[in-house]
Every structure is written in structure tokens, then in C-alpha cells.
Amino acid sequence: MATKSEVQVTISLTELGLDEEELQAEVENLLPQLREVDGVEDADLVAVENAPQNSKSISGFVWGLLKAQIKAANIPTLFKFLSDRFGNKPIKIGVKAPDGRELNIEASSREEFEFALQKAQDFLNTKSNG
């Protein structure tokens, strides 16, 4: 369970244009690296019951989708890792704030990752009106 300072981040690699086998290999390669990023408390595949509509699944998990619990203060570290790893490839990132608000952003270049990081930080620094 997430604490008040943790943010849930979902990373979708489905935009990479890989076939299912390549996509699964990419996810399996990325997962242990993601777990090593500073501030990442937990990282795993996304279970089918939490899957977005129309997503494909294998063995109870969604193709090309990872999730991580990370301390809000470490979001820049995570985005730098993703930028270094996918700097010129399209990925989708979902950020869920501790109060339940969600932000979905896409990035496919280092500049877009920097912009996405700024949007994520602004989003997390803005409190919900609810």
C-alpha cells in the first residue's frame, strides 16, 4: 500500500512498435533496472484486473505495462532513468498522486521527457480541491 509521499507511476512501452515477444523481452529487461532506481519502493508488471481497456495480456499481466511506487521527491530520478533508456522512443507515463488524481503524459525525445517531468512535478505540487 502506498504511503502519503508515494506516487504510483505506470510506464507503457506499447508505443515502441515491437511485436509481442520483443515487447515482453523489453519489459522483463527493464523491470529489474526499474527496481534499482533511487526512490523506487516497488516495481512490477501490471495485473490484468488493473489493465486499461483493450490491452492485451499474458499470464495474468498486461503486455508492455509496468508500474512503480516511488517517493514523490524521486520523480526526477525516475524520469532521468526513463529519458536515458528511452530518450528517442515513444512511451506513455501515467502518474497517480497520493490523493488519487491522475496525469497521463507521453514522451518520445529528451526534450519531451524534460517537459513531462516538469508537468509531473507541477501536477504533484498542486493539491486537489477535493
Quick: pLDDT tens for 52-72: 555 655 566 677 889 999 999
Percent of the chain predicted with pLDDT > 90:
62
Asked if 70 contacts 39 with a C-beta cutoff of 8 angstroms, the reply is yes
The tens digit of pLDDT for each residue in 6-39 reads 999 999 998 888 988 898 889 989 999 999 999 9
pTM of the model: 0.85
**Domain range spanning residue 108?**
10-125
Give the separation between CA 13 and CA 15, rounded to whole angstroms: 5
Mean pLDDT value across residues 89-110:
94
Question: What pLDDT does residue 96 have?
Answer: 95
Q: What is the DSSP-derived secondary structure letter of residue 28?
A: H
* 2 lies in some domain: no
- pLDDT at position 42 is 94
Can you give the CATH number for the domain in which 68 is found? 3.30.70
In-domain check, residue 108: yes
Tens-place pLDDT, residues 67-83: 999 999 999 999 999 99
Report the domain count for the chain.
1
Burial call 99-117: b when 16+ CB within 10 Å, e when fewer: eeeebebebbeeebbeebb
